[in-house]
Structure 1
Amino acid sequence: MEPSWSLHMLSEILSAFSTEDPDNLRNVLNRVAESVDAEVAAILCAGQIDWCIGLSEADQTHLVQQAQQQPTDIQIRSGALHTCWAPMGRRDVLFVGRLGERFDLEERALLRAMARSIELSIKMLRAVSSERQARKDAYQQATHDALTGLPNRRMVLDRLRSAIDHPVGDESLVTAVLFIDIDRFKWINDAHGHAAGDQLLIHVSRILKDAVRHGDLVGRLSGDEFIVITRTSDRNAASELARRIIAAIRQPLRVAGSELSHTVSIGISFAHAGDNPSSVLENADMAMYRAKALGRGRYASFHSSMRLQAQQRLSLEEALGHAVGNGEITTHLQPLFRLSDNTLSGFEALVRWQHPQLGLLLPGAFLEQAEDSGLIQDIDMTVFEAACSAIAQWQQIAGLEHLRLSSNLSARSLADPRVKERIKVILETTGIQPTNVYLEITETTLVEDIESTVSTINALRALNVRLAIDDFGTGYSSLLYLKRFPVGVLKIDRSFVNGLGMNPEDEVIATTIVSLARALELEVVAEGVENQMQLERIRELGGDYGQGYLFGRTLSIGDTERSFIAPRRPTAALLTTP
């Protein structure tokens, strides 16, 4: 065999192994077999055939079985196959077989040279493939979220920038961005741990991918924030997509052995030529916060006025972080009167923020930020402790021994495993009578995680405190919840009390709540009683207690002392008071 022809053959081998095309590799084996007039050629790696020509599947199986002994002859269906085994490293081997004459020394030398060239080429191919895979993995890590596999913020911004700068197809199409945030996701993490939170994130990512069209982008920005980028000619289509996503995600999900009713809030913004991608995302983010402010589980579209609101909200959140430590969170009390004899029965503790610049702020101005930031737990306990301390002192006054206290417990506080111990310490240090303490929880709080809520409330019940359901009738309670929880009080929401005597629907709802409470032997408190007509109607329906402006406005603890407690102190005590 001519040396020049052999060099040409080796050059073909190196060239063929520079790609991963199986046809090129088979061509190499064909040329190897042709070079020595052989019918069979194969490459065995780690005892298994990687590439082979000239053998049936049955004969290939027989070859693998004989490979370890490397016999000089192998019997195949066509006859006795004379063999040449040319090593390629420690474990791999080039096998060549022919039915005619045995291989001479020159042929064996050529095949060994080819084997070394193939060995080098395979190593090069593996190195190239490994580097190519490493680059692919690095790109995947840099542009995709590890948990869900969705494009991350970097890739979302790149795709959004491309959609803005290089619109493709119909010019009438507009790019819509949906910013999706899981409501109370931190609460889920706190209650069930991060593994359950990850399960929910994966669940939401799947729903989003199923909801969009081919060509739309679904990404995860961070935490519980997702993005959908879609092209549409009708802006209403973006709203319809948001409605479908909300409905699909609202379906209960079983997480860590508990069934959760979870929701998402969605903000929508539209990108225009020349827009900055980051600004478009910010706009959608602002719209999402507007959806949360409307009650969560909703969507809202961006409006320019939202930017100012976002700046104000950010400033408020920063100030709130210092408010608890600075003593700016204060406790106010609203009196509760027994309707049968119009006597003072207790107080509801309500939070206020004495802002250094903005003055006294009502809960609606900051509670949402408190919940999102996790500060609500400290705020709950701050209000509760101050109220317990005041009520405990007033219970020492003759005639006020059974003064009761109602105090709100947020969803996040209820999910906090430390809440029982924190409340226990407050009860013990203040000396308040636990049986006169009512913890008010909204209906929504009860159903977000039934199993966890039952466990926490049972632990609180062991402290001898009682449970009141606040704003009853505005959520989605059922008789099952009222049966499972140690509820002592139902509070009729002020929106229904306001319509008594005027609105037939409010009359029906209030009547139903009172009847339900009677059947379950629960007390009924009417909120927002502001005039005599409402008071008389609540009495006629059979309500037990009332609170509202007709009985007294919400006051600081000091003003409550002067307006409601001081007049009820014994005369001797009043005379000795400095």
Structure 2
Amino acid sequence: METSWSLHVLSEILSAFSTEDPDNLRNVLNRVAESVDAEVAAIICNRSINWCIGLSEEDQQLLLEELNNHPSDINIRSGTLRTCWAPMGPRNQLFVGRLGERFDLEERSLLRAMARSIELSMKMLTAVSSERSARKNALFQATHDALTGLPNRRMVLDRLQATIDHLSADDSLLTAVLFIDIDRFKWINDAHGHSAGDQLLIHVSHILKQAVRHDDLVGRLSGDEFIVITRTSHQDDASQLASRIIEAIRQPLKVAGSELSHTVSIGISFAHVGDSPSTLLENADMAMYQAKALGRGRHSSFHSTMRLQAQQRLSLEEALGNAVQNGENKTFLQPIFRLTDETLSGFEALLRWQHPQLGLLMPDTFLEQAEDSGLIQEIDMCVFASACAAIAGWQQIPGLSDLRLSSNLSARSLSDPRVKGRIKEILEATGINPTSVYLEITETTLVEDNESTVATINALRDLDLRLAIDDFGTGYSSLLYLKRFPVGVLKIDRSFVSGLGSNSEDEVIATTIISLAKALELEVVAEGVENKHQLDRMRELGCDYGQGYWFGRPITIEATDVAIIEPLRQSPLSLNPLNP
């Protein structure tokens, strides 16, 4: 075999290598076999056949069994193979076999040269592949979320930009952006830990990928915010997709032995020519907040008026943060009277915001922002502390030692394990009698029954505090919870009190609540008593206490001291400031 011919063959072998396609090593083996008229060629790495031509799986196994012996002949089903073994480094080798004449010295020399060349080329291929894999991994990490593996904000924005660029070219389909936010996600983290929160995020990402089509994009923007970009023929299709996602995510998830109940709120926006990706996301985000305002676990589509509402909401939230620092949150007290003789029993502490520009604001105008921002916990404690201090002082007046205080505790505060310590500090600092303190929580909060809330309620029991269930009858009533926790008072929602005498259903509900309370040895407070008819009817039904405009509107602590407490200081034998 002439040397020039051998070099030509070697050159052909090396040219068959491709760094673009690792499987092209099979083409290399074909060239090797053709160069010496062989039927079989294989590359063996670490006692495994990585690439092979001309051998069945059964014959390949036979070849591996003979690996240590390097026999000159191997019998396979089609005949006897004349073999050549050429080393490719310490653990790898090139194997060539043909049915016919043995390999001469020139051919063996050529095959050894080929083996060394293949070894060098494979090393280069490995290095190139590693570099490309590293670049690919770096690009993936830069464009995907580490926890869920979903495209991140950067990739979402790029995809949105590409979609917007093609809007004018194809106007047969609408591009919808669904902004998905897990409701009260911080509560889940606080109550169950960040590990549970991560499991929920992964769970939601799986549901989203299952809910969309193959060419839709699912991404995670940050925290508990996800995005879906979909192309659709009608706007209703996007709404139907949002409904399916909400329903799928609503199903309870078991985490660390506990069932996690959770919902998502979804905002929908549609792309138009000239929009920017950030505008689309902002629009969908505003629509999502509208869905939350409607009660969470819902979806809403963007319209232009939402932008003004969002600006107002942001301004309000910023001002609320300043209000907490500047002491603009004020404690108002509304009296509670015993119905049998209309004597003063105690007060409910209520929140008001003395806004420097807008004046006195009621809680329903800012409570949602307080809850979403986490400021509600600090506000709860401020109201509680000032009310405790006032009531504790009034309890020193002869005849008022049993004066009660009811103070609202938000679900977010109740799920905070630190709340017991803060309440204990306030009780000790003010000297109020703990047995006269009732913490008002909503019925829904009680039934949610997450681990942190249960632990807090049991801790409050240790402080001799009791619960008052606010707005009873409007949530998910359960006798189990009324007996399980230290509940002392049920408060009949004002909506049932206002219907007395005109709505038979309201009368039935009020009667049932009072009967239930009596059976469970609980006291009942009727909210929203505004006229004598409601007072008389509540008294006839056996209701214990009442509060409402008939007895007095909520006023500041200072005004309460002047209007209600001062007459009792002067005439301690009369506890009825309405009828001294």
Q: TM-score with structure 1 length normalisation?
A: 0.93
For residue 569 of structure 1, give the secondary structure of its aligned residue in structure 2: helix
- For 1:425 and 1:283, locate their aligned partners in 2 and report how far apart those are by CA, in whole Å: 45
Spell out, residue by residue over 1:440-467, the C-alpha distance to the aligned partner (whole angstroms, 9 max, x if none): 1112222334333222211110111001
Kindly provide the CA deviation profile for residues 19-71 of structure 1, in whole angstroms up to 9, marking residues without a partner as x. 56577432322321232333332101122110112333233223223324544
Q: How does 1:118-517 map to 2 (within 5 A)?
A: 118-167=118-167, 171-517=171-517
Question: Which amino acid is 2:440 matched to?
Answer: E
Moved more, 237-246 or 307-316: 237-246
Distance 2:213 2:509 in 1: 43
Residue 410 of structure 1: how far off its partner (Å) = 1.3
Q: Deviations over 1:274-302 (max 9, x none)?
A: 21221121111111112222222222222
2:178 touches 2:267 (CA, 8 Å); kept in 1?
yes
| Equivalent-residue separation in structure 1 for 2:62 and 2:13 (angstroms) | 27
Contact 1:261/1:447 (8 A) holds in 2: no
- Shift, 1:419, TM fit: 1.2
Letter in 2 for 1:389: A
Q: Distance in 2 between matches of 1:422 and 1:572?
A: 33
The 1-side partners of 2:228 and 2:89 are apart by 52
Moved more, 336-345 or 48-57: 48-57
* 1:245–1:58 CA distance, 2 compared to 1 (3 A): closer
C-alpha change, 1:449 and 1:208, in structure 2 (3 Å) is farther
Aligned to 2:50: 50
Residue 107, structure 1, aligned to residue 139, structure 2: no
C-alpha distance in 2, partners of 1:391/1:326?
A: 24
**Number of residue pairs the alignment of both structures matches:** 573
Is 1:259–1:449's contact at 8 Å kept on the other side of the alignment? no
AA aligned to 1:341 is D
Label 1:139 to 1:112 Cα distance change in 2 as closer, same or farther (>3 A).
Answer: same
Tell me the amino acid that sits aligned with residue 316 of structure 2.
L
Once residues 147 and 83 of structure 2 are traced to their aligned partners in structure 1, the CA distance between those partners, rounded to angstroms, is 52
Q: Secondary structure at the match of 1:517?
A: helix
Q: Higher mean Cα deviation, 503-512 or 485-494? A: 503-512
Structure 2 CA distance for partners of 1:242 and 1:37, relative to 1, 3 Å: closer
For residues 316-337 of structure 1, what are the alpha-carbon distances to aligned partners after superposition, in whole Å with 9 as ceiling and x for unaligned? 2222223223222221111111
Question: Which stretch shows the higher mean deviation, 15-24 or 452-461?
Answer: 15-24
Distance 1:235 1:483 in 2: 49
Residues 1:180 and 1:550: Cα distance change in structure 2 (over 3 Å):
same
Moved more, 341-350 or 224-233: 224-233
Whether the aligned pair in 2 keeps the contact of 1:18 and 1:121 (CA below 8 Å) is no
Q: Deviations over 1:459-512 (max 9, x none)?
A: 110111001111122222323332332221111222222222222332232222
In structure 1, the residue matched to 2:577 is: none
1:49-128 matches, cutoff 5 A: 49-77=49-77, 81-128=81-128
Give the superposition deviation at 1:81.
Answer: 4.1
> Aligned pair in 2 of structure 1 residues 32, 443: CA closer, same or farther (>3 Å)?
same
d(CA) in 2 for partners of 1:513, 1:13: 91
More displaced 10-residue stretch of structure 1: 404-413 or 511-520: 511-520
CA–CA distance in structure 1, aligned partners of residues 505 and 413 of structure 2 = 34
Give the AA of the match of 1:421: G
Taking the aligned partners of 2:467 and 2:23, their CA distance within structure 1 comes to: 75
1:520-539 pair list within 5 angstroms: 520-539=520-539
Alpha carbons of structure 1 residues 244 and 24: separation in structure 2 relative to 1, 3 Å: closer
How far is 1:186 from its partner?
A: 0.6
The answer to whether residue 547 in structure 2 is matched with residue 552 in structure 1 is: no
- Decide which moves more: 72-81 or 535-544: 72-81
The separation in 1 between residues aligned to 2:23 and 2:352, in whole angstroms, is 77
Tell which deviates more after alignment, 470-479 or 554-563: 470-479
Residue deviations 1:172-202, cap 9 Å, x none?
Answer: 4322222111111011111111110111111
* SS of residue matched to 1:324: helix
Q: Which amino acid aligns with 2:296?
A: R
Distance in 2 between residues matched to 1:572 and 1:411, nearest whole Å: 38
- From the superposition, tell whether residues 2 and 495 of structure 1 become closer, same or farther in structure 2 (CA, over 3 Å): farther
CA deviations on 1:532-565 (whole Å, 9 max, x unpaired) are 2222222222221111111111111111111111
Q: Secondary structure at the match of 2:268?
A: strand
> Residue type of the partner of 1:387?
A
Moved more, 88-97 or 219-228: 88-97
For structure 1, which segment, 120-129 or 95-104, has the greater mean C-alpha deviation from structure 2 after superposition?
Answer: 95-104
CA contact (8 A) 2:398 2:572 kept: no
Instruction: Give the corresponding residue for 2:32.
Output: 32
The answer to whether the 8 A contact 2:399-2:572 is kept is no
Give the whole-Å Cα distance in 2 for the aligned partners of 1:507 and 1:5.
108
Q: Which stretches in structure 1 are left out of the alignment for 5+ residues? A: 574-578
With 243-252 and 6-15 compared, the bigger mean Cα shift is at 6-15
Rounded Cα–Cα distance in structure 2 between residues aligned with 1:444 and 1:418: 21
Letter in 2 for 1:49: I
- Which consecutive residues of structure 2, in runs of 5 or more, have no partner in the other structure? 574-580
Identity of aligned residues (%): 80
| 8 A Cα contact 1:252 1:261, kept in partner | yes
Distance 1:3 1:568 in 2: 122
CA contact (8 A) 1:525 1:547 kept: yes
Per-residue displacement from partner, 1:192-222 (whole Å, max 9, x unpaired)? 1111011111122222223333433222111
Distance in 2 (alpha carbons) for counterparts of 1:400 and 1:381: 24
CA distance in 1, matches of 2:531, 2:234: 50
**Structure 2 Cα separation of the partners of residues 399 and 168 of structure 1:** 80
What is the TM-score with the length of structure 2 in the denominator? 0.93
**Once the 2 structures are TM-superposed, how far is the Cα of residue 567 of structure 1 from its aligned partner?**
1.0
Deviation for aligned residue 1:272: 1.4
Where in structure 1 do 4 or more consecutive aligned residues deviate above 6 Å?
A: none
CA, structure 1 residues 568+69, in 2 after alignment: closer, same or farther (shift >3 Å)? farther
Give the structure 2 partner of residue 576 of structure 1: none
Asked if the contact 2:29/2:53 (under 8 Å) is kept, the reply is yes
Cα separation, 2, equivalents of 1:260 and 1:53: 56
1:530 is paired with a residue whose SS is coil
Is the 1:261–1:449 contact (alpha carbons within 8 Å) kept by the matching residues of 2?
Answer: no
